[in-house]
């Protein structure tokens, strides 16, 4: 108990903690040896008093807990903390919590020889003069793990320097900010983890930019990332092939009604059919990236209310195959069942040119800012009842689940 108390005592007088430089530590060991030998030899009061002082110095500077043999001879002062202690004003607030804990401990010390303030301070100064004051200044910011990090030092420079009442963290190699808590390992770990994650994200982004920057649209022949206005700097990713187009060009191509559906749904370069175009800010090279992108696109679409369904007021010809949200005004998502046939009065004359796919619907909707008028005109000329669906067996079997081809009659 006494040894623990002496440690507390040590912390309260000098703010140096147990993690000071090794030099004074070794010094304290030497003195401990002296102490044990002398105490066995003689029991002079004078010598024991000096030893006591010596030990005080050692614990103060080295911070090493005294051995059990010492604790017998050494009785810490009862209420030395009540002495008018010199605490620098810039240190006052940061040392307040250990001081109070020490004072409460100090009461339980019981009786003992009480060194005067000048003794303590004098010894302290004497010891620290050679133990170098840098030990103190180095140790100063190291408080307990709950101490806050100085936000100024974190982002660059704190004008209080080492005198700052807040902790100045260690520099993080990733972000370059002094934001690693010197004594809180979990904080450091957490920060490093965040930093690594951020770093990975940044790397990913720069890779994405690097692989996108020189990509040329196969339709307008311009570098997609250099298109003007910047709003045009978007890629239109085709799920079925790896040819590169800007979003506006590939969408416009897929709107080219003068051609057969098969033609415009195919990649203009390789003629491989893609059911939709996925917008993307960056070019995607790998299969995994592409799948991730397309998945997130579908998720995004599924949150937009369907314009045919109109919150339950209308009917969506694509039924539960529609990629948009079918929900009632109260937010309930409704399964409207499979696509249904809405029969028209006309004869069953089908032409391939009139074929409409759900993906066209999506694409046209997604490009509202371009030529929504054309799109609307297409439907306004007929009534919605003319929307009719083909024989389901023919069109759904063997077809990609994501794709439906509806005939307009």
Partner 1 sequence: MANIATQRIKREFKEVVKSEEVARCAIRIDLVNDSWSELRGEIAGPPDTPYEGGVFALEILVPETYPFNPPKVRFLTKIWHPNISSVTGAICLDILKDQWAAAMTLRTVLLSLQALLAAAEPDDPQDAVVARQYKEYHNIFKTTAQHWTAIYAGGPNRIGEYETRVTRLVDMGVDELTARAVLSANNWDLERATETIFS
Binding site for partner 1 (CB under 8 A): 218-222, 243, 249, 252-253, 256, 258-260, 263, 266-269, 271
Closer by beta carbon to partner 1, 201 or else 271 = 271
d(CA 83, CA 74): 20
Closer by beta carbon to partner 1, 272 or else 378 = 272
Q: Which long-range contacts (CB under 8 A, 24 or more apart) does 147-152 make?
A: 147/94, 149/178, 149/179, 149/181
Are 255 and 239 in contact by the 8 Å Cβ rule? The answer is no
Least distance from partner 1 to the Cβ atom of residue 278, Å: 18
Task: Output the CA torsion sign for 39, 42, 43, 49.
Answer: negative
Closer by beta carbon to partner 1, 6 or else 248 = 248
In this structure, the dihedral spanned by the alpha carbons of residues 128, 133, 136 and 137, taken in order and rounded to 10 degrees, is 170
Closer by beta carbon to partner 1, 216 or else 342 = 216
Closer by beta carbon to partner 1, 258 or else 332 = 258
Are 246 and 220 in contact by the 8 Å Cβ rule? The answer is yes
Least distance from partner 1 to the Cβ atom of residue 335, Å: 38
Closer by beta carbon to partner 1, 129 or else 258 = 258
Question: Up-side HSE of residue 165: CA atoms within 13 Å toward CB?
Answer: 9
Least distance from partner 1 to the Cβ atom of residue 289, Å: 23
Task: Output the CA torsion sign for 47, 52, 55, 60.
Answer: negative
d(CA 284, CA 208): 7
Least distance from partner 1 to the Cβ atom of residue 269, Å: 4
Least distance from partner 1 to the Cβ atom of residue 305, Å: 31
Closer by beta carbon to partner 1, 90 or else 259 = 259
DSSP-derived secondary structure letter, 401: T
Least distance from partner 1 to the Cβ atom of residue 369, Å: 17
Are 231 and 221 in contact by the 8 Å Cβ rule? The answer is no
Give the phi and the psi of residue 277 in degrees, each rounded to 5. Answer: -120, 130
Least distance from partner 1 to the Cβ atom of residue 316, Å: 29
Are 62 and 28 in contact by the 8 Å Cβ rule? The answer is yes
């Amino acid at each position: 108990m006494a040894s623990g108390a002496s440690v507390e005592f040590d912390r309260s007088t000098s703010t140096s903690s147990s993690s000071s430089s090794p030099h004074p530590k070794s010094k304290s060991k030497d003195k401990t040896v002296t102490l044990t030998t002398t105490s066995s030899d003689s029991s002079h009061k004078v010598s024991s008093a000096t030893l006591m002082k010596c030990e005080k110095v050692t614990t103060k500077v080295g911070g090493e807990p005294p051995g059990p043999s010492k604790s017998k001879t050494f009785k810490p002062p009862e209420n030395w903390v009540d002495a008018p202690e010199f605490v620098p004003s810039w240190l006052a607030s940061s040392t307040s919590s250990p001081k109070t804990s020490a004072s409460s401990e100090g009461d339980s010390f019981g009786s003992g020889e009480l060194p005067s303030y000048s003794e303590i301070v004098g010894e302290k100064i004497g010891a620290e003069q050679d133990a170098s004051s840098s030990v103190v200044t180095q140790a100063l910011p190291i408080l307990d793990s709950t101490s806050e990090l100085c936000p100024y030092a974190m982002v660059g420079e704190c004008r209080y320097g080492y005198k700052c009442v807040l902790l100045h963290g260690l520099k993080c190699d990733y972000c370059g900010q002094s934001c690693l808590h010197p004594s809180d390992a979990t904080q450091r770990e957490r920060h490093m983890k965040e930093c690594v994650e951020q770093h990975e994200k940044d790397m990913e982004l720069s890779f994405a930019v690097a692989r996108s920057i020189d990509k040329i649209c196969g339709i307008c022949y311009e570098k997609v990332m250099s298109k003007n206005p910047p709003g045009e700097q978007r890629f239109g990713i085709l799920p079925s092939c790896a040819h590169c187009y800007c979003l506006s060009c590939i969408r416009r191509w897929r709107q080219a009604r003068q051609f057969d559906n098969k033609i415009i749904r195919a990649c203009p370069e390789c003629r491989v059919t893609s059911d939709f175009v996925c917008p993307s800010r960056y070019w995607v090279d790998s299969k995994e990236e592409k799948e991730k992108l397309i998945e997130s696109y579908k998720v995004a679409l599924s949150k937009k209310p369907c314009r045919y369904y109109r919150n339950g007021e209308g009917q969506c010809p694509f039924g539960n195959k529609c990629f948009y949200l079918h929900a009632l005004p109260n937010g309930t998502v409704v399964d409207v069942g499979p696509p249904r046939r809405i029969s028209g009065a006309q004869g069953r004359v089908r032409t391939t040119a009139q074929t409409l796919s759900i993906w066209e619907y999506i694409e046209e909707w997604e490009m509202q800012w371009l030529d929504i008028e054309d799109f609307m005109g297409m439907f306004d000329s007929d009534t919605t009842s003319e929307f009719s669906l083909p024989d389901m067996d023919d069109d759904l079997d063997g077809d990609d689940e994501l794709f439906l081809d509806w005939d307009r009659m």
